[in-house]
Amino acid sequence: MKKTIYLCLSVGFLFSNTSYSQKDETSLKTTYEKDFLIGTALGIEHIYEKDAKANQLIKREFNAITPENIMKSQIIHPEFNHYSFEASDKFVEFGQKNKMFIVGHTLVWHSQLPAFVSKINSADSLRLFMTEHIKAVAGRYAGKINSWDVVNEALEEDGTLRKSVFLNKLGEGYIKEAFDLAAKADPKAELYYNDYNIEQPAKRKGAIELIKKLQASGTKINGVGIQGHWSINSENLKDIEDAIVEFSQLGIKVAFTELDYTVLPNPWDLKGADVNQRFEENPKMNPYKESLPDSVQNRLAERYENLFKVFLKHKDKISRVTFWGVNDSHSWLNGWPIKNRTNYPLLFDRGFEPKKAYLSIMKLKSKPTN
C-alpha cells in the first residue's frame, strides 16, 4: 500500500512547491535495492554540503556516489610533486558517513590532465607520472574506495585505441600497466574500464577485445562502465541490451556510470561525449530556455521508463546505475557542447522536485494493491 500512496503523493509534488520529507521511506535506492545500486555524481558544492535541499535529496535517493571532477588528475595532481587531496578526502568522508558505495573517477584519462603533462617529452617521464599518480591516489584511499574507473575513454568510435598521449608515448600496454598498478595500490577495490558509446557495435567490439586482452594477460578487471550520455531524439535500446549481454558474457559486471538524456537539439549530429568538443551559441540550439514543454517532458519520461525496463530485465548482470548529476541545474549538459544552454536531462528539476521521468521509473517497481 505504501508504494501506491507514494506515487499519488509524488504526482502532487510535481505540481506544488512541497518538498519531500526525510521521513519518506520510498526512494530510488530503496525501490531498486534488490536490483542494483543507484548512484549520482557529486560536484564540489555537494561534497561540502553547501545546499541543504541537494544534501537531503542525495542522502535520500542514492546509495552510490562518483566525484564529478575533483579526482581527475588536473585537480588532484596539479604539479608533478604535489597533490591536492582536500576535496577528495571530503568526498570519501561523505560516502563513508552516509554508508554509500564510493566510486573513484578516474585514474588514467587523456583529458583534463595537469598542465605539466603537456611538457613531458619522454616515455619514461610519462610512465613515471602515471605510476606515481596511481600509487598516490589509489593508495591513499585503499580500503575506502569501493570501485575505480581505472582507464577512461581509451577508444575511438571505430573501436581502435584512441591516439592519446598515453598511447603515443607508452604504446597499448599502458592500459594493462594502469590496471596492474591500481590492483597493487588497492587490492580490494573493483576495477572498471569506462567509456561512452561502447553500446554501439563497432566501439563495443573494440571494448570487448580490450577486455579480453586484459583477462588473457592475467590482469584484474571487474567490470565495464557504459557512460550513457544519450539523447531523447534517438533510440538505441537494442544496442544497449546487446552490450549488457555481450559484456556480461566476459564474466564481468556491467555498470551504467554517467547516465543522462539530453532533450536539446544535437549540433551537426554530434555523437559521443568528448568534453573537448565545442560549438558556437545559437538560439535554435537552446529552445527551452524558460521551461520544458509537456510533450518533451513526456518523451524524456518514456525514454527513461523504456531504458529501466531493459535494466530490470538484465538486473542480474548490472551492478550500478549512476546518474551524471544530482538535478538539472547541476548537469554538465547545460554547457556542453554549446555554452549557456538550459538542459533537462535528469530525474529532478532545478528546484530538486521529481520530474515525470522519476515517476516513470518508480512505477515500474510498484505493485497494485487490492
Lowest mean per-residue pLDDT among 66-70, 97-101, 263-267, 329-333: 263-267
In a domain? residue 123? yes
Counting Cβ atoms within 10 Å, is residue 56 exposed (0-12), middle (13-18) or buried (19+)?
Answer: middle
In a domain? residue 368? no
pLDDT at 324: 98
Condensed to tens digits (0 to 9), the pLDDT of residues 151-174 reads 999 999 999 999 999 999 999 999
- Whether 285 shows a pLDDT value over 60: the answer reads yes
First to last CA, the chain: 9
What 3 state SS string does 77-90 have?
A: CCECCECCCHHHHH
In a domain? residue 370? no
In a domain? residue 169? yes
Query: Please, which pLDDT band fits residue 278 given cuts at 50, 70 and 90?
Result: low
In a domain? residue 14? no
Q: Which three cell numbers stand for residue 155?
A: 577508444
**Count of C-beta atoms within a 10 Å radius of residue 64:** 23
* Residue range of the domain that includes 80: 25-357
In a domain? residue 364? no
Enumerate the active-site residues.
153, 258
**Count of C-beta atoms within a 10 Å radius of residue 256:** 23
Mean pLDDT in residue range 81-97: 98
pLDDT at 283: 76
Q: Which three cell numbers stand for residue 23?
A: 521521513
Total number of domains constituting the chain: 1
pLDDT at 274: 57
In a domain? residue 62? yes
- Whether 272 shows a pLDDT value over 90: the answer reads no
Lowest mean per-residue pLDDT among 134-148, 170-184, 335-349: 335-349
Sign of the torsion angle spanned by Cα atoms 336, 341, 343, 349? positive
Condensed to tens digits (0 to 9), the pLDDT of residues 15-44 reads 333 333 334 468 999 999 999 999 999 999
Q: Is residue 294 within 8 Å of 198, Cβ to Cβ?
A: no
Mean pLDDT in residue range 205-211: 98
In a domain? residue 158? yes
Q: Which of 233, 220, 297, 219 is nearest to 271 (CA)?
A: 233
Mean pLDDT in residue range 255-273: 79
Q: Is 154 helix (H, G, I), strand (E, B) or coil?
A: coil
Identify residue 215 by its one-letter amino acid code.
Q
Q: The domain spanning residue 202 has which CATH number?
A: 3.20.20.80
Q: What is the mean pLDDT of the chain?
A: 90
% of the chain residues with pLDDT over 90: 83
